[in-house]
Amino acid sequence: MGLMSRVSTIFKSKVNNVLDKAEDPRQTLEYSYQKQVEQLQNVRRGVAEVVTSKKRIELQLNRLEQSAEQYGQDARDAVKADRDDLAQQALNSKQAIVNQMDGLKTQVGDLAREEQRLVDLQHKLTAKVEAFRTQKEVIKAQYSAAQAQVKIGEAFSGLGEDMADVNMAVQRAQDRTQALQARAQAIDELSVTMALESPVASSGDAVRDELNRIKAQTGVSDELARLKLEMGKEDNPS
């Protein structure tokens, strides 16, 4: 069995749950339509939640950006006061935040695309529910109960599939947003508690960690040298 048939089976099991509720389509036509409108509202709420969460992560990123700037300012102040040790520490903290933020920014960018996709899907679904409403009126007016059963069954399966699709997309976006939120939160807490002893998060590989540390350290030393040059505080060869 290939991937697509498996996915179809998994997916159809989700759709069938929705379908079971409509046993006698002619009688339950209005009821099922109402149900779909309700589901559409749930989808809207889900999409709105993703949008809100993304905004919250963006705010968190802004705050991190500010604290990185603050550490930069601290480093300048320290250089001014001839306290290289403090400047080094401040730059370490700044580097740690900047490193963590880079990955997060990329993911927030991905999320923005996902958000756009959800909004598009929501519009499509709205159009489909509207199409179902029109079809339901036609079916009521033109078909006998037996024929209606078949016609409604078709329309219902099609729409049910779309519902399940959008619901899964919303779920996926929510999972991703939550993971990002947790990550932003963790960085935020780190920057607040100043637990940034090493500017580099562990990669799980000792050699790579060591190399990353060296790289970060070089970055910090370079920035310190640059700062000092900028402020006319070069190390005078004595």
Partner 1 sequence: MIIRIMSEGQYEVDGETLDRIKILDEHLMAAIERDDEAGFNQAFHEVVGLVRTGSVLEHHQLTESDLILPASDTTLVEAKLLFSQHPIE
Q: How far apart are CA 50 and CA 37, in angstroms?
A: 20
132 in contact with partner 1 (CB under 8 A)? yes
Burial of 192 (0-12, 13-18, 19+ CB in 10 A): exposed
| Length of the chain in terms of residues written | 238
Give the binding range for partner 1 (CB under 8 A) out of 44-52, 89-97, 165-173, 204-212.
165-173
Rounded least distance, CB 35 to partner 1, Å:
15
Task: Kindly tell me which of 57 and 121 has the beta carbon lying closer to partner 1.
Answer: 121
Q: Which of 96, 104, 116, 118 is closest to 182 using CA atoms?
A: 104
Size of site (CB under 8 A) for partner 1: 35
Among 40, 43, 148, 169, binds partner 1 (CB under 8 A): 169
Among 45, 172, 208, 213, binds partner 1 (CB under 8 A): 172
Alpha helices in the chain (DSSP H): 3-19, 25-80, 84-142, 145-193, 206-230
Task: Kindly tell me which of 11 and 84 has the beta carbon lying closer to partner 1.
Answer: 11
Q: For partner 1, what does the binding mask look like between residues 85 and 124, x meaning CB under 8 A?
A: --------------------------------x---x--x
CB atoms within 10 A of CB 43: 22
